[in-house]
Amino acid sequence: MIYLDNAATTPISLNALKTYNFYASEQFFNPSGIYNVVVKVKNDIQSAKETILNSLKTLKGNIIFTSSATEANNLAIFGSLKSNFKKIVLSMADHPSVYNVGLELENKGYNVEFCPLQKNGQIDYEALEQILDETTSLISIIHVCNETGAINDLKRINDLRNKKCPNAILHADGVQAFSKIKINLDYYGVDLYTISGHKMFAPKGIACLFVRDGLHLKPILYGGGQENNLRSGTENVPAIMALKTAVLEIGDIQKNYDYVKKLKDKFISNLKDVACIVNSNETNSPYILSLTFKGVNGETLVHMLEQNGIYVSTGSACSSKKKGNRILSSMSIRPEDVVGSIRVSFSKHNTFEEIETASTILKNCYNELIEKLR
């Protein structure tokens, strides 16, 4: 098997799995208990938060653990809402867990505007500047697009926020950025930031939301008041501690970035004789590669690769049941080309041998499919 769908999910690392099992079978105590043995578990959770804050290059906030990035994104937006909110600004590049929240808020009567995209997949900063005004109360922009790898400049977005609507709350979905590109939340100036465990070799079922000091959210779940009253429910200690282990295993981000970029460049180079369009550029994250193959159906191509033991996707797993591709369409890619698009997503554990094999088989599958369609 050659797995090239790492933007969808990753396997849990062996060390993270060992940590998970330890806290599931030995240190299994409920952190809300009052007996002495629970103190260690509470302290371990706090240490996990500190580890994540350090990796985000900030100590000016708190980490709220959630069950998923979808929940964290919902908490960021719904938890920020106030009765005096006038305008909410999202983007056409956002993950469904943000974009569909925007549609729901529109249905509830809120003024929601979606910032358009440039052809390179980044948000249109000039359009964003025009959209933002003194009535803007909340901004949520994805950091790295899960479909194309386009990296949005959070510092630039924050500068526009400070210029046009300094009182607005700024949230970023960092799921495809965390562990893959260098992050400095103090430099960016964002108020809320989402990360997810299963995208970076931690278990599924664990994610978190960074909340800047001084920002007061409302809970979207009510119960025992865990996580500073923002996320009721018994903490998933095994997954939290496994996430900490995965964070400690990230390693040299720049070294990993440079290695994966070489993998991506090699993959693209091997397809130079094929009629395909690369929906990415040099400024995009190398971990995600969007390709459009002329004259074929991307889903058919994905299944042909699957039969050869190679796993890629047509795009976001959270959008797999929907027709079309909102993000590629927003980049002015023609509908007939959107149909032929696939997403290849790499990890630091992929090898050049895998890239050579996968790209060769992809080229052969495409040529075979074109021949059948003649």
Write out pLDDT tens, residues 58-113: 989 999 999 999 999 999 999 999 888 989 999 999 999 999 999 999 999 999 99
- pLDDT, residue 38, reads 80
What mean pLDDT do residues 330-350 have? Answer: 93
Whether 2-9+252-373 and 14-248 share one fold: the answer is no
318 is an active site residue: yes
pLDDT score of 128 more than 60: yes
Please pick, among 115, 165, 276, 318, the residue that the annotation labels catalytic: 318
- pLDDT, residue 315, reads 66
pLDDT score of 175 more than 50: yes
Place of tokens 């995208």: 199
Q: Output b/e per residue, 241-263; b: 16+ Cβ within 10 A.
A: bbbbbbbeeeeebeebbebbbeb
CATH class of 14-248: alpha beta
Residue 341 contacts residue 298 (beta carbons within 8 Å): yes
As given in the structure block, the two tokens for residue 306 are 């699957």
Strands 87-91 and 136-142: parallel
Of 81-90, 254-263, 355-364, the range with the lowest mean pLDDT is 81-90
Query: What tens digit of pLDDT does each residue of 312-331 get?
Result: 998 644 444 456 689 999 99
- How far apart, in whole angstroms, are the C-alpha atoms of residue 99 and residue 3? 28
Average pLDDT, the chain: 93
- How far apart, in whole angstroms, are the C-alpha atoms of residue 260 and residue 206? 25
Structural domain boundaries in the chain: 2-9+252-373, 14-248
- pLDDT, residue 332, reads 86
Burial group, residue 71, by CB count within 10 angstroms (0-12, 13-18, 19+): buried
Strand order in 136-142's β-sheet?
Answer: 61-66, 207-212, 192-196, 169-173, 136-142, 87-91, 111-115
CATH class of 2-9+252-373: alpha beta
Prediction pTM value: 0.95
What mean pLDDT do residues 191-204 have? Answer: 98
**Of 49, 100, 38, residue with least CA distance to 70:** 100
pLDDT score of 46 more than 80: yes
